[in-house]
């Protein structure tokens, strides 16, 4: 294991329908690590296998070969320390349950009593700026608020690792910026490790301490970029930084398989 890594992926391969007429080799020998407290973004073209990788990191999909380790343990299924926020908040929130009940849902299976569940849910709602909507139903909230509820539910697991799959894909641009800032703030405040899968190159540079670029057929890691902006970022200053443009250009070029002049120079990482 890489010393100190939280998640360590080694030579991960994923082939759907192996041996059958529909065989589809998606991931080919991916290796990567995620360090404690890091925010890592995974970016790549549609169909590259980003969700598949995230599901493997969550222990939800067993890889065809290779391994995912959480600390010293080899993941063979979902782990209580790893929470997942999926892109489809509409499908994941239960419309007949009040908001706080939705957030507390993961705690039911852990035998936590109702009063304690509600207290935790309200705390998590407070963390995402929704302290006053606990008694509403999800369908009474805007899309951005519903996505915050989904994040609050991710926090209710009280897991040190939060995996997010295109978490802001279905909200408007302003809500998206707010949710990105919320994610950075939660990471800072709670000291959690965050992995975000996104197809949005700007978002990957804004949110990540490192950006892992996937691409090719079958998919491999094309590049890993270190983002130099620290943990305290804001939308206007960070996006106006010339290094932001440089990084996004590099990610885009990698995804398109183009070479850059700077490729002759030492890389950022």
Ligand X SMILES: Nc1ncnc2c1ncn2[C@@H]1O[C@H](COP(=O)(O)OP(=O)(O)OP(=O)(O)O)[C@@H](O)[C@H]1O
Query: How far apart are alpha carbons 171 and 142 in whole angstroms?
Result: 9
Binding mask 183-222 for ligand X (x = CB under 6 A): ----------------x-----------------------
Q: How many residues bind ligand X (CB under 6 A)?
A: 12
Secondary structure element (H or E) that encloses residue 115, with its range? helix 114-127
| DSSP SS3 for 146 | helix
**Smallest separation, CB 36 to ligand X (Å):** 25
Report the residue number, 41 or 107, with the smaller CB distance to ligand X.
Answer: 41
Burial of residue 99, with CB atoms counted within 10 A of its CB: 0-12 exposed, 13-18 middle, 19 or more buried: buried
166-185: contacts with ligand X (CB under 6 A): none
The first and second tokens of residue 256, run together, are: 């398109």
35-94: contacts with ligand X (CB under 6 A): 44, 46-52
Report the residue number, 160 or 208, with the smaller CB distance to ligand X.
Answer: 208
Report the residue number, 46 or 174, with the smaller CB distance to ligand X.
Answer: 46
Query: How far apart are alpha carbons 217 and 24 in whole angstroms?
Result: 10
Q: Where in the chain does DSSP place strands (E)?
A: 7-16, 24-34, 39-43, 65-70, 73-74, 82-85, 161-165, 193-198, 210-215, 220-226
**Smallest separation, CB 148 to ligand X (Å):** 22
**Smallest separation, CB 51 to ligand X (Å):** 3
Residue 221 dihedral angles phi and psi, to the nearest 5°: -80, 115
Q: Which of 26, 60, 119, 253 binds ligand X (CB under 6 A)?
A: 26
104-163: contacts with ligand X (CB under 6 A): none
Q: Does 254 bind ligand X (CB under 6 A)?
A: no
**Smallest separation, CB 146 to ligand X (Å):** 20
Query: How far apart are alpha carbons 197 and 57 in whole angstroms?
Result: 11
**Site of interaction with ligand X (CB under 6 A):** 16, 24, 26, 44, 46-52, 199
């Amino acid at each position: 294991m890489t010393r100190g890594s939280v998640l360590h992926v080694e030579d991960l391969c994923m082939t759907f329908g192996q041996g059958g007429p529909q065989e589809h080799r998606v991931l080919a020998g991916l290796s990567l690590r995620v360090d404690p407290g890091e925010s890592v973004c995974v970016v790549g073209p549609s169909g590259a296998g980003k969700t598949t990788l995230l599901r493997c990191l969550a222990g939800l999909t067993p890889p065809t070969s290779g391994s995912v380790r959480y600390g010293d343990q080899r993941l063979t299924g979902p782990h209580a320390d790893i929470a997942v926020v999926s892109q489809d908040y509409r499908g994941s929130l239960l419309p007949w349950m009040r908001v706080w009940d939705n957030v507390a849902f993961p705690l039911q299976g852990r035998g936590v009593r109702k009063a304690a569940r509600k207290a935790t849910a309200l705390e998590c709602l407070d963390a995402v700026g929704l302290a006053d909507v606990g008694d509403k139903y999800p369908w009474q909230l805007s899309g951005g608020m519903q996505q915050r509820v989904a994040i609050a539910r991710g926090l209710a697991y009280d897991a040190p690792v939060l995996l997010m799959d295109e978490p802001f894909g279905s909200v408007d641009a302003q809500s998206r910026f707010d949710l990105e800032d919320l994610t950075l703030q939660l990471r800072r405040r709670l000291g959690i490790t965050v992995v975000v899968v996104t197809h949005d190159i700007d978002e990957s540079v804004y949110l990540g301490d490192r950006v892992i670029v996937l691409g090719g057929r079958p998919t491999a890691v094309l590049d890993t970029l270190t983002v130099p902006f620290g943990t305290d970022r804001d939308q206007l200053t960070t996006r106006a930084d010339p290094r932001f443009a440089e990084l996004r250009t590099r990610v885009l070029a990698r995804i398109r398989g183009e070479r850059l002049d700077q490729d002759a120079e030492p890389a950022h990482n």
